[in-house]
Amino acid sequence: MSSAASMSLYQIRMEGWKALTERLGAAGAMRFMMQYDPGLGDYTKERHDLFADLTIDTLLEAVAERDRPKEER
């Protein structure tokens, strides 16, 4: 096995698959790989839109409220 720094992406992928199948077997390796889903949409844009109005002060207030004992809320 070569140093990962000197390996191509293809070589890394092949070595990774080899390690998975040796350790988990073909079925286990496939189950592991099926957990990774690229998803849909543009997460960076969605995150920006979702948190566009959030300020550090709003965030700190939310944390303080969460940490305040229930009887003080």
Give the pLDDT band of residue 26 (cuts 50, 70, 90): very high
Residue holding tokens 């543009």? Answer: 42
Residue with tokens 């997460």: 43
**Which pLDDT score is estimated for 32?**
94
Distance, CA of 73 to CA of 66 (rounded, Å)? 9
Residue range of the domain that includes 61: 4-72
Task: For residue 15, name the pLDDT band (cuts at 50, 70, 90).
Answer: very high
Q: How many helices (H) and strands (E) does the chain have?
A: 3, 0
Give the total number of structural domains in the chain.
1
The two structure tokens encoding residue 16: 């990774």
- Asked if 12 contacts 4 with a C-beta cutoff of 8 angstroms, the reply is yes
Task: Say whether pLDDT at 3 is over 90.
Answer: no
If one compares 72 and 9, the residue with the highest pLDDT of the two is 9
* pTM tops 0.75, yes or no: no
For 30-43, the pLDDT digits (tens) are 999 999 877 888 98
